[in-house]
Structure 1
Amino acid sequence: MGRDTEAAALLGPLLAGSAQPHQVRRAAQGLGLPERGRYAVVVLGAPAVVPSDGSGVRWCWCGEVGVVLLGPGGPAGPVARLVAAGAGPGGVSPVVDGLAELGLARRLARAALLTCGPGRREIVALEGRLPTALVASAPELSARLVAEVFGPLLVLAPAERALLVGTLEAWLECGGSVGRAAARLRCHRNTVFNRLRRLERLTSRSLSHPRELVETLLALDALRLTKVGT
């Protein structure tokens, strides 16, 4: 059995979340890793080769799933190494406290990966994508949400739909400021206002009503994860 195959065999039960205590101990001994420590899991869209950078960070791979033993810092450094190696798309779990928690970490990293849109090469941390991960983890509900909220937009011509969605995105990125969104889009503030009002009419949802705004935001996240609207 090759070294990579042996590592994958030891990691498999841990990443599946089904490892018994004796399997955790065996994996720690076989891999030369501490049972307790600061770990993160990365799930990639495809396997990648990550060269050593001499930093002492330990990687163990099981196909497209990587387990990294972190030092005092967080996963930002190792993730940057992945990006430099051309890996991606990928999702990164929160830090967990030991090998026994790798199953949970893998599930959370997978949820983060699901938030990467089609064709994207980004590697993202779950902490920055929690609402989107909720949407992406329930594809049937997400599709229904898009149809319910943005259904009337989906019958528009692609350019017209993209204009309205792009204006909404700019308005959100500008903190709900029509003036700043207009500057970003290089148009008059009344143009932004009129586009947003039209979007409200089409979706039957008010951007000034908190609950309806949340629903629109979640639907927008779901829309971004599909090729519709691109």
Structure 2
Amino acid sequence: MAVIPDIAPTTRTDLLHDLRDSVDGLADELVARIVSAEQDYADASLLTPEQLRSACRDNLASMLANLDGTAPVRLESARAAGRMKAEQGVSLAALLHAFRLGGRLIWEELTARSDGHASQWLLDMAAQVWALVDVYSDAAADAYREAADTRAREDAEASRRLVRTLFANHALNPAGVADAVRAFRIPERGAFLVVSVGDSASCPSADVLRSGLRGVGIESVWDTEVDGRIGLLWASSESALESALEAALGEIGAGPVGVSRGFGRPGGIGEAVEQARQSRRCALDGAGVATRYDSVPVPLLVIRQPDAGQLAARQVLGPLLALPADEQHNLLTTLEAWFAARGSTTAAAAKLHYHRNTVLYRLRRIQDLTGRDFSDPVHAAELYVGLCAHRLLGAGRE
């Protein structure tokens, strides 16, 4: 059997130099193969054909220079390709496939230009080509991951800035607010609410809240505050928003929840944020219970005028607040239940699990201490204001 002679050294050198001289044509061919084989490259709207060709040419030229012995392994082009593909949204798998396609192209060209002689030199060159492809692929992959991590951090930080802008004073940064509205795809018209959620061990993360609300037809954006979370919620209609919100309240957690008035355009966000925060300050703890801004006029008045509220609590409840803690707690809890029951001693007793006579006794005790007659509407109103101020502000506590 005849042995095919090895390619002469000068022929090897000429062959590799000829490949290097053809690098522009090879780059064009490689671009065509990559785009045909990888949909990621065809779909990447940010990656231009010129950028792809430049990356292909640079890496082919670098690899061929190493193969012909005129240059050491230089991985700058591979790293640059990895960074660019991460920034342009091309997947890592597609990037690595492109390097394999480049290695295959080099090998096919070497085989074709050696007239098909399966010489030992050509077999050795195959090993060098694929080893070099591995080295370049690894460098590109490392640069890709670093760039992807950096981009993720930057995107997360940019998202946080947009969220903060959305819930901040809109008059201070109208352009930033417009950017945030576009970024979160908030419609120009719709049914909107802002919800303020008090912090508690059971309060879900912003991602969980957003996912849960989306499951009942509500889109949302959430921000974390020192004492809880604030969220913008929207849906196609007021009825859809209200019904979905009611269904989702139980998932929000055990802390107090305040809800703003509804509004129809993103321009109402700033005012609604303050309304939701104030409503939450008027709320009592309890899962699935929300305090609506329009439903608590007296508590809102108290928290907006805290000095006057504290004064009212001292003037109305003064002697009661001087009692020992246990007795004070019992009387105030009974007073609160009586107001919640709309003046029904029977309903208040049922709520507290007391005998009705116990409730009557405690109400008479409150009347004796404060000098306020429950049958007098003015006196009853004063007791309600004093109770609200004490509950919300801690007024009169020693």
* Superposition TM-score, scaled by structure 2 size: 0.49
Q: Which has the higher contact order (CA 8 A, sep 6+)?
A: 1
The residue aligned with 2:303 is 136
Q: 1:80 & 1:137 partners in 2: Cα distance?
A: 31
1:173-188 maps to which residues of 2 (within 5 A)? 173-182=340-349, 185-187=353-355
1:1-230 maps to which residues of 2 (within 5 A)? 1-3=154-156, 5-6=158-159, 8-9=161-162, 12=165, 15-18=168-171, 22-46=175-199, 48-49=205-206, 50-53=209-212, 54-63=215-224, 64-72=229-237, 73-75=240-242, 77-78=244-245, 80-81=247-248, 83-86=250-253, 88-117=255-284, 123-182=290-349, 185-187=353-355, 189=357, 191-225=358-392
Displacement of 1:20 after TM fit?
6.6
Identity of aligned residues (%): 29
Structure 1's 8 and 90: CA in aligned 2 closer, same or farther, altered over 3 A?
A: farther
Q: 2:222 & 2:265 partners in 1: Cα distance?
A: 16
Larger Rg: 2
Q: 2:252 & 2:392 partners in 1: Cα distance?
A: 25
Paired residue secondary structure (2:294)? helix
Displacement of 1:5 after TM fit?
3.6
Displacement of 1:219 after TM fit?
1.3
2:218 partner letter: V
Structure 1's 208 and 93: CA in aligned 2 closer, same or farther, altered over 3 A?
A: same
Displacement of 1:159 after TM fit?
2.4
Q: 1:8 & 1:69 partners in 2: Cα distance?
A: 21
Q: 1:32 & 1:58 partners in 2: Cα distance?
A: 10
Paired residue secondary structure (2:383)? helix
Q: 2:184 & 2:317 partners in 1: Cα distance?
A: 50
Displacement of 1:99 after TM fit?
0.7
Q: 1:131 & 1:148 partners in 2: Cα distance?
A: 17
Q: 1:111 & 1:85 partners in 2: Cα distance?
A: 18
Structure 1's 36 and 87: CA in aligned 2 closer, same or farther, altered over 3 A?
A: farther
Displacement of 1:188 after TM fit?
5.1
Q: 2:349 & 2:159 partners in 1: Cα distance?
A: 57
Q: 2:350 & 2:257 partners in 1: Cα distance?
A: 33
Task: Tell me which protein shows more strand as a share of its residues.
Answer: 1
Deviations 1:30-59 (A, max 9, x none): 221112221111122348321514344211
Task: Tell me which protein shows more helix as a share of its residues.
Answer: 2
Gaps of 5+ in 2: 1-153
Displacement of 1:123 after TM fit?
4.1
Q: CA RMSD in A?
A: 3.1
Structure 1's 62 and 174: CA in aligned 2 closer, same or farther, altered over 3 A?
A: closer
- The answer to whether the 8 A contact 1:57-1:70 is kept is yes
* Superposition TM-score, scaled by structure 1 size: 0.80
1:115 partner letter: C
Structure 1's 137 and 33: CA in aligned 2 closer, same or farther, altered over 3 A?
A: same
Aligned residues: 227
Q: 2:192 & 2:365 partners in 1: Cα distance?
A: 48
Structure 1's 162 and 107: CA in aligned 2 closer, same or farther, altered over 3 A?
A: same
Structure 1's 128 and 9: CA in aligned 2 closer, same or farther, altered over 3 A?
A: same
Paired residue secondary structure (1:206)? coil
